[in-house]
Amino acid sequence: MLARGLKITKTTHMLVAAVATAVAANAMVAVQFTGLAGQVVLLALIFGSLAIGTSAISADIYARSSLTVSNLRSIGASSRSISSAVLVPVLVFGIAGSAFGAGVGAGLGMTLGGPGGPVTVLTEVLAVILTSSAASAAGVFAGGRAAWRS
């Protein structure tokens, strides 16, 4: 209900999921063809780009709904309850998109002749999902915090 009041719509969900899917899929393919140092750089890139993306999305939600946020505050909404309404859907769809993208990327990498065995690929998939999930959470938190302060 609160998310609806803050104008968080299916479009918002789709945007988050699509960004996370694209980043995770591309990174997952690349991860399979690089050494450890390259993988670290790639994971850092995933984290950075997704954090910036989700930060912008959450800041945009607050900006579009600044009047609503102010109205909700006047009837007792805490920053935590409003942040949760933004954080949860962005996080859920960010993780879902990351998982889907990592899966697609893993399959594509193996099809293209990636050198890793199933265990290695599974480990890489988990690393990509964890990194992108953490990035989504950090981005949403940072975006919300910046918007809240302003």
Q: Tell me if 103 contacts other proteins by CB under 8 A.
A: no
For other proteins, the binding residue among 66, 71, 120, 123 (CB under 8 A) is: 71
Q: Considering beta carbons, is residue 71 or 120 the nearer one to other proteins?
A: 71
Q: How far is 110 from 69, CA to CA, in rounded Å? A: 47
Of the candidates 76, 54, 74, the residue with the CA atom closest to the CA atom of residue 145:
54
Q: Which stretch binds other proteins (CB under 8 A): 2-10, 35-43, 94-102, 122-130?
A: 2-10
**According to CB under 8 A, which one of 10, 35, 37, 74 is a site residue for other proteins?**
74
* Position 45 contacts other proteins (CB under 8 A): no
For residue 62, which of 46, 50, 51, 73 has the smallest C-alpha distance?
Answer: 73
Nearer to other proteins, 5 or 103 (CB): 5
Q: Kindly state the smallest distance separating residue 78's Cβ from other proteins, in Å.
A: 4
Q: How many CB atoms lie within 10 A of CB 15?
A: 18
State the residue for tokens 């594509």: 108
Q: Can residue 75 be called a binding residue for other proteins (CB under 8 A)?
A: yes
In terms of Cα–Cα distance, which of 79, 86, 68, 91 is closest to 16?
Answer: 91
- Applying CB under 8 A, does 80 fall inside the site for other proteins? yes
Count of other CB atoms within 10 angstroms of residue 3: 18
Give me the residues that bind other proteins (CB under 8 A), please: 1-2, 4-5, 7, 68, 70-81
